[in-house]
Each structure stands twice: as C-alpha cells, then as structure tokens.
C-alpha cells in the first residue's frame, strides 16, 4: 500500500511539470488590458483546478503564478485578480490563498537579500504585494489587514533605495496611486509618515527631476484623496515624465 502511495507521489510530481507548462502557456497569453482577459482567467482557473489534485500540485500552481507575477510587473494586476478568484480553492485542507501568502511573506522576510541579488524581482515583489492587497478580499469582504504594515515598510524602503532610485520611486508612485486610498483608510498615521518622507525627498535638490516629478504627483494625489487628478494635471505629469524618461 505504502509503495503505491509513494509511487503515485513521484508520478504526480513528474506529471506536474507537464501540467505546469500548459498553465504557464495560458498565463503568458494573458494580456492585462485585453478584453478577453476575463475569459482567459476563467480557462486558466478551470485548467488549474483540474490539474491541482494534491497539495504539492496546488503549491506548484501557486508558485507558477507567483513567479510570473513578480517577474513581469505588467502582469501583476492581472495575477492579483486571478489569485482573488482562486483564493479559496482548497486541496487537502490547504487553501490557495494560504500558499500565496506564504510566498509573499517569505519574500518579505528576505527582501533585503532580494534587493541585493535581484533588484527587478524586488520591485516586482513589492508591486505584486500591493496589487494583492488592493485587489484581494477575504470572504467577509475585507482586505488583508496583515499586509498593511509590510506594504508601508516596503514603500518606505523604495523611497530610501540608493541603487535603482528612479525605478524604485516610480514603483512607489504607481503603487500608491493604485492602493493609496485603501492604505490610508487602514492606517492613516503611517500614510502621514510616508508622505512626510515623500515631501522631504521631493524638496531635495539632489534628486533627479524625474524623481521629483513623480513624487510631486503623489503629493497631489494624496491631497486629492487619491482620486484621479484633473485631466490637464494628469496630462502635465504624463508629458513631463515621458520627456524625462526618453532622454538618453
């Protein structure tokens, strides 16, 4: 009996990688802004639910989605939506959501190392973390409060980063645009602190124009309670940022 179980596990892991390839294909074909994305999410979910029969294979599915989400920042938002749909999917007593949170927590715990070893992944991780927080809800309709402090910490660290300064500030700005309101609702004192750091940096002449433009936009958004700025203002920033990013 035992022998059969073990051999089945071995086989499952082997077959797992074939199934994963298929899932990865599906993921790759998803384009965030395309109209067919809802349908693609649905097909992916079906496929994943069929192939995830054991905890191990479920973990592989989660891991596959996670890897893609943190390595491709344009995919992060879509990935978060997908994870929200699959959150409560459970195999052998383990939920999709729990595995996902484990991965996020693991990377959060080792974010310093991540920043040193693979800065793109670090940025991708923070992006995905924020998207998860902004998109996913518990079954009682609440956001995942446990993520609030870690996100503030990461945003702070983005502002303080010395290597990829502008990319980091861009990441910070984009995520604040996306999750700022929710973050401030959850923990206004920390938003105040964060904004103070943003202002300091913005007023620092040593910072690049790009950095300071991005930060000024954030300050305006905050003042505007995170709702979109007037069209002309947004245009101004888009133009400015574009100008600054296209110069050699």
Partner 1 sequence: MSDWAGSRRGEAHSRRNKTGSCVPSRWSNGRKRTVDGTLRVGRHGDGTDPESSGYSDHRHSDSRHSIFTTPESSGPVSRCRSQTDWATQVEDDEMRMGAHRDMQRRRILGSEFSQRERKTSSGSSESCDSKEGENIETDEAVLLRRQKQINYGKNTLAYDRYIKEVPKHMRQPGVHPKTPNKFRKYSRRSWDQQIKLWKVKLHAWDPPVDEGQDKVLDNIDDLALDDVMDIELDFPTLSESPTTPGLSLQDEDCAGTPSKVQRMENTVDPDLA
Least distance (Å) from partner 1 to the CB of residue 36? 31
Segment 28 to 67, residues that bind partner 1, using CB under 8 A: 54-55
Pair 218, 241: CB distance under 8 Å: no
The site for partner 1, by CB under 8 A, has a size of: 43
Nearest CB to partner 1, comparing residues 153 and 240: 153
Question: Considering only CA atoms, which of 100, 16, 103 is closest in space to residue 54?
Answer: 16
Query: Which residue is associated with the tokens 């809802």?
Result: 38
Question: Considering only CA atoms, which of 171, 137, 138, 142 is closest in space to residue 154?
Answer: 171
Segment 205 to 244, residues that bind partner 1, using CB under 8 A: none
The CA distance from 166 to 201, in Å, is 12
Segment 161 to 200, residues that bind partner 1, using CB under 8 A: 189-190, 193
- Binding flag, residue 2, partner 1 (CB under 8 A): yes
Instruction: Return the residue of 4, 33, 225, 227 that touches partner 1, per CB under 8 A.
Output: 4
- Binding flag, residue 17, partner 1 (CB under 8 A): no
Nearest CB to partner 1, comparing residues 14 and 205: 14
Segment 80 to 119, residues that bind partner 1, using CB under 8 A: 90, 92-95, 97-99, 101-102, 104-106, 109
The CA-atom distances, in angstroms, between 243 and each of 162, 210, 216, 240 are 23, 9, 16, 5
Least distance (Å) from partner 1 to the CB of residue 54? 5
The CA distance from 41 to 207, in Å, is 41
Nearest CB to partner 1, comparing residues 92 and 227: 92
The CA distance from 117 to 125, in Å, is 13
What angle, 0 to 180 degrees and rounded to 10, lies between the N-to-C axes of helices 55-71 and 76-86?
160
| Chain residues that interact with partner 1, rule: CB under 8 A | 1-11, 54-55, 90, 92-95, 97-99, 101-102, 104-106, 109, 138-142, 144-147, 149, 152-153, 156, 189-190, 193
């Amino acid at each position: 009996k035992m022998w059969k179980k073990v051999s089945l596990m071995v086989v499952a892991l082997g077959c797992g990688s074939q199934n994963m390839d298929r899932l990865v294909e599906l993921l790759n074909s998803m384009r965030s802004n395309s109209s067919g994305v809802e349908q693609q999410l649905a097909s992916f979910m079906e496929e994943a639910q069929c192939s995830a029969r054991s905890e191990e294979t479920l973990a592989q599915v989660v891991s596959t989605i996670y890897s893609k989400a943190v390595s491709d920042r344009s995919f992060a938002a879509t990935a978060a939506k997908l994870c929200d749909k699959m959150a409560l999917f459970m195999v052998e007593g383990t939920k999709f959501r729990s595995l996902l949170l484990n991965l996020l927590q693991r990377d959060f715990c080792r974010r310093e190392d991540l920043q040193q070893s693979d800065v793109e992944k670090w940025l991708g991780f923070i992006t995905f973390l924020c998207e998860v927080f902004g998109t996913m809800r518990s079954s009682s309709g609440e956001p995942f409060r446990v993520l609030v402090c870690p996100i503030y910490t990461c945003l702070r660290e983005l502002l303080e980063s010395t290597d990829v300064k502008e990319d980091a500030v861009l990441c910070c700005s984009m995520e604040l645009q996306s999750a700022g309101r929710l973050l401030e609702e959850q923990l206004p004192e920390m938003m105040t602190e964060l904004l103070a750091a943003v202002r300091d940096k913005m007023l620092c002449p040593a910072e690049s124009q790009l950095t300071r433009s991005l930060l000024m936009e954030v300050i305006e958004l905050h003042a505007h309670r995170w709702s979109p700025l007037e069209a002309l203002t947004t245009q101004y920033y888009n133009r400015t940022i574009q100008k600054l990013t296209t110069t050699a």
